[in-house]
Chains A and B, each alone.
Chain A
Amino acid sequence: MLNAKQITYQGLWSNNPALVQMLGLCPLLAVSNTVTNSLVLGLVTLWVLVCSNTIISLIRHHLHDATRLPSQILVIATFVTLSDLLLQTWLFEIHQRIGLFIALIVTNCTVLGRTESYASKHPVSAAALDGLMMGLGFLLVIVSMGFIRQAIGTGQLFSQLHLLLGGTQSDWQVILPNEPFLLMILPPGAFLCLGCLIALKNWIEIQCRPLTTQPHKENHLRTSP
């Protein structure tokens, strides 16, 4: 069994769902065009991950092999639908912008990957922590992508954040001096940005190689996104 430190390290860095497992690329590439959108999607994914990991871990002894995957999808879908409805209630304007991608979290392989490969084999506390850390890892990557893409692509930051945190547009919006470089908010910019982040992560890892002697203990689950 992994201890808490290892789970944290794996979720945030060595087995990061976005940068290493490369799961859930569809929302990562499509929604990361502004900080607000990526923050909301990252938080909802985090919540779904924690909840479904916990539930699956609780009922893991009662799941039959033949129906294990459908049951997991059912649990995930329940939480996604719940968050979809909650967003519609409290954050209607944001839901109008990225509502489509909220529903698509059901098909996000990060969630199914964690429930299948981790939560169905580990006790509740470890599974919940794993969901939290994996979700945080995903949240960090998607928010930094949103930050980079919005800053370079539109020349402003945090616009529409008032829809999430209250206040008005001018409370949050920061106008940057650079000229908008449209490519970055278009789909090719998402690929370029993600590629650069992965390259940066690998570069840092190579620079620190003598320090990290821990081998990867977990098999990477690779499924088509």
Chain B
Amino acid sequence: MIMQTTMFALLPGIFATAYFFGWGIFSNMTICIFTAVVVEAIMLKMRAKDLISLKDGSAVLTALLLGVALPPYLPTEMLIIGTASAIIFGKHLYGGLGHNPFNPAMVGYAILIVSFPLAMSTWPLAQNDIFGSTKYEPTAAETIINEPSFDGIPFDGIAFDGKTAATPLDTLKFRGAKTIQEAWTAENGFSILAGTGWQSINIAFMLGGLVLIYFRIAHWQACFTMLLSLSLLAAIFYDGGGSASLGSPAFHLFSGGTMLVAFFMVTDPVTAPEGNTGLFIYGAGIGVITFIIRSLGGYPDGMAFAILLMNAMTPLIDQFSVDHR
């Protein structure tokens, strides 16, 4: 039941993503789930296991989490590569469900972002949300062909498949010498808390995740400390919003995959340490590493690497936080 409830808790976030970024997320999820089931069946067959364990839903949940985390409209072969490597390298090579030291969905995500950095940082332009409209200024090329409307009606025979935009994390990172206030007014794609669309998606994932925590399906410790350490660091380095500022706590909490990762990946019981102390250290570590990669690293969002690094630390954390007598 845990797997099914988790899938239901993802629904608000999925619908929010579909609303802001288009239908791509559904094709992502379909292809990922199909690949995951096929690969899982093949791997179970190769390991001479009973196919009945397909029904536990873990492969489908892995595929679902991966499909939601990936940019919509990602090319099909990349979706297949990501899901297959998540199931094969992330899960079955370590002995299947319950024996994997690394979160399979994050393994797939990391492999994809290392292999296809360009495609993985191409997100569609977000729709306007209830917190205010996207400030969007057409680029020179679009002005020439007189900006076809967003709903895909071609203008003068020139059809757009869609529009892409830099994610708010990237825009803020590469804003040059602008202060936060200047970036907010001068650059495209910012709203009250964080990026337009992104903030609503994060809030939707947070609502679904809070339901999980309320019904005690997910533990709150790691999730809470991760968000806490991320926002504390952001608050310290906010620097009054000057040109060297790394973004406000609200911006970091509601940008990128923060809430999806915090409530659905960090809370994975298999790859997290045991006991309260261990979970606190684990969550805080993920928050700190995420902030470091976001502000100093070369990748758009450091979530996947942060989770994998702390997964690797889990046995060590267990070593001194759990009483082994």
Contacts and interface: CB of A to CB of B under 8 A. Distances in A.
A181 B89 contact: no
Contacts of B114: 182-183, 186, 188
Chain A's interface size range is: under 10
Contacts of A182: 114-117
A192 B115 contact: no
Interface string A177-192: 0010111001010001
Nearest to A153: B115
B16 interface: no
B297 to A, nearest CB: 16
B292 interface: no
Interface residues of B, number: 9
B11 interface: no
Contacts of B111: 183, 188
Contacts, number: 15
Interface in A181-225: 181-183, 186, 188, 192, 195
Interface string B76-105: 010001000000010001000000000000
Contacts of A186: 114
Contacts of A192: 89
A199 B171 CA distance: 45
A183 to B, nearest CB: 4
B44 to A, nearest CB: 17
Interface in A156-183: 179, 181-183
Nearest to A192: B89
Contacts of A181: 81, 115
Contacts of B77: 179
Contacts of A183: 111, 114-115
A135 to B, nearest CB: 31
A182 B93 CA distance: 22
Of B81, B115, B117, chain A has the most CB atoms within 10 Å of the CB of B115
Contacts of A179: 77
Contacts of A195: 93
A183 B114 CA distance: 6
A181 B116 CA distance: 7
Contacts of B115: 181-183
A102 B111 CA distance: 30
A197 to B, nearest CB: 14
Of B77, B114, B117, chain A has the most CB atoms within 10 Å of the CB of B114
A155 to B, nearest CB: 12
A46 B311 CA distance: 40
Interface in B281-312: none
Nearest to B93: A195
A80 B89 CA distance: 37
Nearest to A199: B93
A181 B93 CA distance: 21
A182 B89 CA distance: 17
Interface in B42-74: none
A135 B6 CA distance: 54
A195 B77 CA distance: 23
Interface string B111-128: 100111100000000000
B76 to A, nearest CB: 12
Contacts of A188: 111, 114
A188 B117 CA distance: 16
A146 B117 CA distance: 23
B112 to A, nearest CB: 9
A179 B111 CA distance: 15
A192 B115 CA distance: 14
Nearest to A179: B77
A192 B114 CA distance: 14
A186 B77 CA distance: 20
A32 B31 CA distance: 33
A186 B116 CA distance: 12
A71 B205 CA distance: 66
A165 B142 CA distance: 50
A195 B26 CA distance: 34
Interface in A33-85: none
Interface of B: 77, 81, 89, 93, 111, 114-117
15 contacts: A179-B77, A181-B81, A181-B115, A182-B114, A182-B115, A182-B116, A182-B117, A183-B111, A183-B114, A183-B115, A186-B114, A188-B111, A188-B114, A192-B89, A195-B93
Given A182-B116, A188-B111, A192-B89, 4 more contacts: A181-B81, A183-B115, A188-B114, A195-B93
Interface of A: 179, 181-183, 186, 188, 192, 195
